[in-house]
A = this chain, B = another copy of it.
Amino acid sequence: MKELKERILKDGYIINEDILKVDSFINHQADPGLMKQIGEALAAHFKDKGVTKVVTIESSGIAPALMTALALEVPMVILKKEPSKVLNEGLLQTMVTSFTKGTSYELTLSKRFITEMDHVLIVDDFLANGEAATGAIRLLRMAHATVAGLGILIEKSFQPGREKLIEQGIDVYSLARISSLKDGAITFIPESE
């Protein structure tokens, strides 16, 4: 997606070879107009997939997921990060460990909001090692739902997340795919590849 890639080049900030900071337009401060365009682009890609709900992981994915759900005219469900096991029989939980951040949390979903009737599009801001997406898919399977695909804003294609998810048969669609952050430069994979 041209607008997102241009914005990444303009306002993204390379911390090191592995980390790109986009907190001025996605994570901490968000540009609502760009989020609307992102939501429309993800919705256009998945519009014929029979999506019944858009699911995201709190909290950076909420803004783009909301705009995607608005364009697809389906509800959005936020998977919550709970610090420890909450004992409640209405809840599904699965442990996710982020190697990047060195943290663990219980990804949490109320059984009331996702059922075996649902075909779910997962939307998140970043795809790197795929831990969060894999946790979300595990949780959706515990709810007996099926996965329509994964819509991502920024994919770090030099990390193994995409490959791991494609091996599981997931349709991964990323609006900006970064092949390298080396030598202080952001390099994208061309859209045709």
Contacts and interface: CB of A to CB of B under 8 A. Distances in A.
A140 to B, nearest CB: 14
A136 B62 CA distance: 20
A66 B147 CA distance: 26
A70 B35 CA distance: 9
Given A29-B113, A113-B24, A113-B29, A63 B35 contact: no
A102 interface: no
Interface of A: 23-24, 27-33, 35-36, 58-59, 62-63, 66-67, 69-70, 73-78, 80, 110, 112-113
B32 A66 contact: yes
Nearest to A79: B28
A76 B32 contact: yes
Contact of A29 (B23, B62, B63, B75): B75
Contacts of A35: 66, 70
Given A30-B76, A32-B73, 6 more contacts: A28-B110, A29-B75, A29-B77, A30-B69, A33-B70, A66-B67
B30 A66 contact: yes
A78 to B, nearest CB: 6
17 contacts: A28-B77, A29-B75, A29-B76, A29-B78, A30-B66, A32-B66, A32-B67, A32-B69, A32-B70, A32-B75, A33-B73, A35-B66, A35-B70, A58-B58, A58-B59, A59-B62, A62-B63
